[in-house]
Amino acid sequence: MASNPIHCEIDLGASGKQTGYLRLPHSVHRSAYGYLPYPIATIKNGEGPTVLLMSGNHGDEYEGQVIVSSLIRELQASDISGRLILLPMANFPAAREGMRTSPIDEGNLNRTFPGNPKGNPTQVIAHYIESVLMPEVDYVFDLHSGGSSLLYVPTLLLLRQTDDQNMEIKEAVAREFGLPYTAIYGRDDEGGFSSAAAIRQGAIPFTTELGGAGTVNRAYTQLAKNGLLRALVRLGVLQKELPPPDYESRVFPNDDLVFAPEVGMYEPLAEPGDAVNAGDPAALVHVPETPGKEPVEVTFEKSGMVLAKRVPARVVRGDCLFHLACD
Ligand SMILES: [Zn+2]
């Protein structure tokens, strides 16, 4: 495959803290020889693991961007044993506009791995992250949130592979992270997610869902930042004294999604953090377009904990209303 056209301004192998940009050549009407500047930083000191910290994979998920940006400012090389690579706006054009997908090419970075060095900007940055950065990386943290359409209670997503040899370290990191919930996923290394990319390149992935609804929740951001720092200490890449986790994370081995059954206006009957039983009412979908029509009741098909609800009221058939963690 062709080499990747991105030029990294900083030396990823150099010691100390460096900040700069990944330059992705982008020739458009207003700028014939321009580039898209994806912010990047490295903090390296001595021997130890390399950890990739990503946010802004979906550009409308803000908590992670706040956390990764603050770590770039606050962590010093003397805190580190090994190396951090930090990408606060992984799909930069999407993050700049506060959109889930890129306004340039409609690309959803977290469905685009392994990418294509000759493709559109989202495909090129996906290829760079998977084929240039990840082969040098031991652990990947990709900080997601609910974005514009969902609101989560802070949750760590753990991927369990077939015959997973790394579950011990994954579960240890989940305990240190100390988010209220941990949802375990069974997925393999196929597919366009950053977690699948990490596995293909021999790295161990961790994903979060932190808040959302197009806002930044201060309490969630602080909780997740402290959890991430404890996780980095557990992995041996950070030397720091930190307070213990606030939560003993509740672990769920399965999950389920609830969808809108038709067009209308959805009224949630459950909130993130609620425990629900199969058969409980989940939502009403009102149909004001049809006078006299009763709202359609949606029920939960499984028992579990509501991790996320949809935020905007208008729905069409197929919109996701709830994400449930299940036993
Ligand atoms: Zn996301």
**168 C-alpha to ligand 1 centroid (Å):** 25
pLDDT at 190: 77
**217 C-alpha to ligand 1 centroid (Å):** 16
**218 C-alpha to ligand 1 centroid (Å):** 18
**314 C-alpha to ligand 1 centroid (Å):** 21
- DSSP structural state of residue 238: B
**146 C-alpha to ligand 1 centroid (Å):** 7
- Preceding omega of 5 cis (within 30 degrees of 0): no
pLDDT at 187: 66
**66 C-alpha to ligand 1 centroid (Å):** 15
**145 C-alpha to ligand 1 centroid (Å):** 6
pLDDT at 319: 97
pLDDT at 164: 86
Q: Strands 204-209 and 139-144, how do they pair?
A: parallel
pLDDT in tens, 131-151: 999 999 999 999 999 999 999
Specify the residue for token string 């009403």: 284
Give the residue ranges of the chain where pLDDT is below 50. Answer: none
Please give the sequence-ordered ranges of beta strands (E in DSSP) within 164-230, or none if there are none.
181-186, 204-209
CB 268, CB 281: distance < 8 Å: no
CB-based contacts of 7-13 (< 8 A; 24+ apart in sequence): 7/35, 8/40, 9/40, 10/40, 10/41, 10/42, 12/42, 12/85, 12/133, 12/136, 13/44
Q: What pTM value is reported for the model?
A: 0.96
pLDDT at 54: 98
pLDDT at 189: 67
pLDDT in tens, 303-321: 999 999 999 999 999 999 9
The span from the CA of 128 to the CA of 113, in Å, is 10
**96 C-alpha to ligand 1 centroid (Å):** 15
**187 C-alpha to ligand 1 centroid (Å):** 17
The span from the CA of 210 to the CA of 315, in Å, is 23
- DSSP structural state of residue 3: P
pLDDT at 141: 98
**65 C-alpha to ligand 1 centroid (Å):** 12
pLDDT at 185: 82
- Compute the residue count for the chain: 327
Burial 45-74 (b: 16+ CB within 10 A, else e): beebbbbbbbbbbbbbbbbbbbbbbebbee
**294 C-alpha to ligand 1 centroid (Å):** 35
Helices (H), 22-101: 63-74, 92-97
